[in-house]
Amino acid sequence: MSRAVTIAVPKGRVLKALTPVLARLGIDAKEVLGEGDDRRLIREVPSVGWRFILLKPDDVPTYVEYGAADLGVCGRDVLLERGFDLYQPVDLGIGRCRMVVAMPSSTATLPDPPRIATKYPRIAAAHFAKRGVQAEVVFVQGSVELAPLTGLADAIVDLVETGETLRQNNLEVREVVAEISSVLVANRAAFKLLGSRARDVVAAFTPR
């Protein structure tokens, strides 16, 4: 019996969005999503010879890069920020959002140099550098929208999905940095080694 194909998936919203993929494969979503207070971090699906490992989104590409997982589901934001070079066979079309520069509606122009708060310091610095602006980038972990409201920063680089968080905090989008979605990533060596078994995973995850 060959070993299970290991697929790294983020806990939370994106994991739930995989329900149709699992249904297509005849897998009961509960086997992977769990029920109640299920804290198992490895979820075996013997019927298809796969196992899912549940991670924080930022750790998915790390596990795939080191070969601790064969494939994984992660956002383009994480790949861009951390410069991972992983095979990306499929855009899953889920977790769609935009990475933007946003600032208070009352701000006409940014000071030079601007101070930018973000969870994505590399992406932010590269974005402003492309425009010849040497931004001062301040790393924050979350609630990024708070930064311009409190004087921590002049603007933010962050993800926007519905735009509701920006609206309710009197901020507006001034530039789109990148379109983001979730992609399937694969360890290049594992992908070759697994052959048709890896291609089966890709086929199952390809949106139709």
Q: Closest CB to ligand PRP among 36 and 142?
A: 142
> What is the spatial order of strands in the sheet that 136-139 belongs to?
136-139, 115-118, 155-160, 97-104, 171-180
Hey, what are 147's tokens? 């930064």
Q: Within a 13 Å sphere around the CA of 169, how many CA atoms are in the beta-carbon half?
A: 21
Q: Cα(104)–Cα(171) distance, rounded to whole angstroms?
A: 4
Q: Closest CB to ligand PRP among 35 and 164?
A: 164
Q: Quickly count: other Cβ atoms within 10 Å of residue 32's Cβ.
A: 21
Q: Closest CB to ligand PRP among 21 and 99?
A: 99
Q: Closest CB to ligand PRP among 101 and 201?
A: 101
Residues that bind ligand PRP (CB under 6 A): 142-145, 158-165
Smallest separation (angstroms) from ligand PRP to the CB of 18: 18
Smallest separation (angstroms) from ligand PRP to the CB of 143: 5
Smallest separation (angstroms) from ligand PRP to the CB of 123: 13
Smallest separation (angstroms) from ligand PRP to the CB of 52: 22
Query: Phi first, then psi: what are they for 119, rounded to 5°?
Result: -90, -5
Q: Closest CB to ligand PRP among 109 and 162?
A: 162
Residue 120 in contact with residue 201, Cβ under 8 Å?
A: no
Can you say how many angstroms the Cα of residue 146 is from the centroid of all Cα atoms in its chain? 22
Smallest separation (angstroms) from ligand PRP to the CB of 119: 6
State which residue has the least CB distance to ligand PRP. Answer: 142
